[in-house]
């Protein structure tokens, strides 16, 4: 039985790891194209073409919202099936954050500016935090930590919410 739980936790971790990367890459692409076109056209006073920080913030909201919803749904399912494990989810989120953030460490060692620009573009969704510090290592770290904290908070709040909800439903029966 323990092997099955370990396998389930490992598969859960890999799935969340892949989704975290895909959602952030999706947000990077959508943030630079669709948001610029749709929001920039619908609200020209925002001047997104002239304000990359604002465009980056909208791009950050996409993965933040999607990941928050994903972990809310995970907590709902885990609570319903009695598989709530905050330690495993925290470890998975920490590993996701470390692996997502790791490429920024090689920026200083790279000589090819095109490669550096490509790596920095992975952290475009956190560029709005460059007001704090202009270094991609700093704003990339802050942006990914904020996303991870939102996911963990969403997971915890949803678990508490559904514990109460499921307890109320059992009391009605």
Query: What tens digit of pLDDT does each residue of 36-69 get?
Result: 777 777 777 777 667 778 777 877 888 888 889 9
Task: Classify residue 173: in a domain, yes or no.
Answer: no
Task: Classify residue 17: in a domain, yes or no.
Answer: yes
User: How far apart are alpha carbons 40 and 45 in whole angstroms?
Assistant: 8
Task: Classify residue 172: in a domain, yes or no.
Answer: no
Distances (CA, A) of 116 to 28, 82, 113, 141, 153: 16, 45, 5, 17, 33
- Which one is predicted more confidently, 21 or 66? 66
The total number of structural domains that make up the chain: 1
Which pLDDT does position 95 carry in this prediction?
81
pLDDT (average), residues 112-124: 72
% residues pLDDT > 90 (the chain): 9
Indicate the average pLDDT of the chain. Answer: 80
Q: Quote the domain boundaries for residue 89.
A: 2-167
């Amino acid at each position: 039985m323990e092997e099955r739980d370990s396998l389930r936790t490992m598969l859960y971790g890999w799935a969340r790891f892949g989704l975290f990367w895909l959602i952030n890459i999706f947000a990077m692409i959508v943030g630079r194209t669709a948001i610029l076109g749709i929001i920039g056209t619908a609200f020209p006073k925002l001047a997104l073409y002239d304000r990359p920080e604002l465009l980056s913030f909208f791009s950050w909201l996409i993965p933040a919202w999607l990941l928050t919803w994903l972990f809310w749904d995970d907590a709902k399912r885990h609570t319903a099936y009695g598989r709530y494990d905050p330690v495993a989810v925290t470890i998975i989120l920490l590993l996701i954050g470390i692996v997502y953030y790791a490429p920024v460490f090689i920026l200083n060692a790279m000589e090819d500016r095109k490669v550096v620009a490509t790596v920095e573009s992975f952290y475009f969704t956190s560029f709005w935090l460059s007001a704090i510090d202009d270094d991609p290592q700093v704003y990339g770290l802050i942006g990914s930590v904020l996303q991870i904290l939102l996911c963990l908070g969403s997971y915890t709040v949803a678990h508490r919410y559904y514990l109460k909800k499921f307890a109320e439903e059992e009391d009605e029966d």
